[in-house]
A = this chain, B = another copy of it.
Amino acid sequence: MGPGPSNVAPSVLKAMSAPLVGHLDPVFVKMMEEIKAMLRQVFLTQNEITFPVSGTGSAGMEFCCVNLIEPGDEVVIGINGVFGGRLAEVAERCGAKVTRVEAPWGRILEPGPMAEALKGRKPKLVGLVHAETSTGALTPVPEIARMAREAGALMLLDAVTSLGGCPVQVDEWGIDAVYSATQKCLSCPPGLSPVSFSARALEVARKRRSKVQSWYLDVNLLASYWGQDRVYHHTAPISMNYALHEALRLVLEEGLENRWRRHRENHLALKEGLQTLGLGLASQEGHQLWQLNAVTVRPGTDEVSVRQRLLSEFNIEVGAGLGPLKGKVWRIGLMGETSSRANVKKVLQALEVCLA
C-alpha cells in the first residue's frame, strides 16, 4: 500500500511467467498489436504512436523530453512536487530553457500562474504532472492544456499515477504527449512505460534539426519496430509485455469507469476512517488523489517507527514523505489491485494499533 509498485493480480504474474518467444515472433507481434490497441482504449486516444517504452516511468518521461525538445527550446513546467521537479530537470538535460511555474507541495497547479507564465511567450512545450505521487494532489488538466495550445505549445502530461485510477482523457483534453507507468493503477510489475504521441507531437519529432540525443528512446526508430515495418531496434522485454497485456485486459474487463469509481470509493472510505482516527490528508481539499493518500503525521508521532511497524507487524508497506514532506506524511497507496475495501480496513486497523 505504498506509492507503487501496487499489488498484481495472479493472472498477470502467471502471464508474465510464460515461456519466452522472440521479439520478432509472429505470436509476439500479434501481442504487440493488442497491447497498442488496449493502451489506446485506456489512454482514451486514437493516437497511432501509443506503445510501452522499455523502461520504467522515468524512462517514459525522458522519452517524451528527448524526442520533443531540442537545445535552446523554451519549455514551461508546472511543479508542485517531486515529479514536476524531475520533469524540469530532464527537460534541462535535453538543452531546454525551462520556466518553472511552482505551487506549494500538496496544492494543485492553478491555471492563473500558468497563464501568467505563458503571457507573451511562445514555448515549444508545456509540461504538467497530473497526479503528484509525492503529495497526493490531482491537478485539473483541461484548462491548462487549452492555454498551452493557444500559446502554440505542445502539451505534455505525466500520467504515471493517474492512468487507470482516475480519468485520463488524452484526446478530449488535447494532450500531445503523455507517459505513464505499469506499476501504479494498471497493477502490472514495474519495467514498462506506456506512452502516446499525437500526430502533432510526432511531426515535431520527425522534423527535428538535430538527432534525438537518446538512441534507445528515439521515437523515429521505435515507431518502426512498433509499427507495421517491425524493424529490429532493441530486444523488447518480452515477459514484461506478457504481463502488461494481461494487466490491460483486466483493466478493460473491469471497465474504466468502474475502475475509477472503485478507486474513488475506497479513497473516500479511507479518508473517513482516517478522520475517525483524528488523521487528515496533507493535500488540497477538493483535489485529493484517489490512488495516493498523503496522511498528515500528528505532532509527537514517531513517523518512522509507525511505518516500520506497519511493515514488520502488519505486512503493510506505506511510503515516506519526500522533499519538504519528509517526516510529515505517510503515503498510503490505493492503486489498482491494492484499492480494495479489505485493504482500507486493514490499514486503518493497523494504524489504530500503531497510534494507540
Q: A16-B17, A54-B59, A54-B191 are in contact. List 13 more A-B contacts (CB 8 A).
A: A5-B23, A6-B20, A8-B20, A58-B233, A59-B234, A62-B214, A62-B215, A62-B216, A86-B215, A92-B211, A213-B213, A214-B214, A239-B243
Bound-complex Cα distance A93 to B6 (A):
36
Hey, which chain B residues are within 8 Å of A213, CB to CB? Answer: 93-94, 213-214
What are 13 contact pairs spanning A and B, CB under 8 A? A56-B234, A56-B237, A57-B234, A59-B216, A61-B216, A86-B215, A93-B212, A189-B237, A189-B240, A190-B237, A190-B239, A191-B239, A213-B213
User: In the complex, what residue of chain B is closest to A212 when comparing beta carbons?
Assistant: B93
Question: A residues 212-245 with Cβ under 8 Å of B?
Answer: 212-216, 232-240, 243
Q: Are the C-beta atoms of B2 and A20 separated by less than 8 Å? A: no
Q: Are the C-beta atoms of B20 and A17 separated by less than 8 Å? A: no
Q: Is A67 an interface residue (CB 8 A)?
A: no
User: In the complex, what residue of chain B is closest to A183 when comparing beta carbons?
Assistant: B235
- Contacting residue for A16 out of B5, B56, B239, CB 8 A: B239
Hey, which chain B residues are within 8 Å of A8, CB to CB? Answer: 19-20
Question: A residues 1-27 with Cβ under 8 Å of B?
Answer: 2, 4-8, 13-14, 16-23, 25-26
* Residue interface mask A280-312, B partner, CB < 8 A = 1: 000000000000000000000000000000010
Bound-complex Cα distance A216 to B215 (A):
14
A contact residues, total (Cβ < 8 Å): 57
User: In the complex, what residue of chain B is closest to A26 when comparing beta carbons?
Assistant: B311
Question: A residues 232-260 with Cβ under 8 Å of B?
Answer: 232-240, 243
Q: Is A132 an interface residue (CB 8 A)?
A: no
Hey, which chain B residues are within 8 Å of A211, CB to CB? Answer: 92-93
A44 to chain B, nearest CB (A): 24
A189 to chain B, nearest CB (A): 4
Q: Is A354 an interface residue (CB 8 A)?
A: no
Question: A residues 82-105 with Cβ under 8 Å of B?
Answer: 86, 89-90, 92-94
Q: Are the C-beta atoms of B317 and A25 separated by less than 8 Å? A: yes
User: In the complex, what residue of chain B is closest to A242 when comparing beta carbons?
Assistant: B189
User: In the complex, what residue of chain B is closest to A92 when comparing beta carbons?
Assistant: B211
- Assess A238 versus B16: contact at CB under 8 Å? Given A21-B317, A93-B213, A213-B93: no
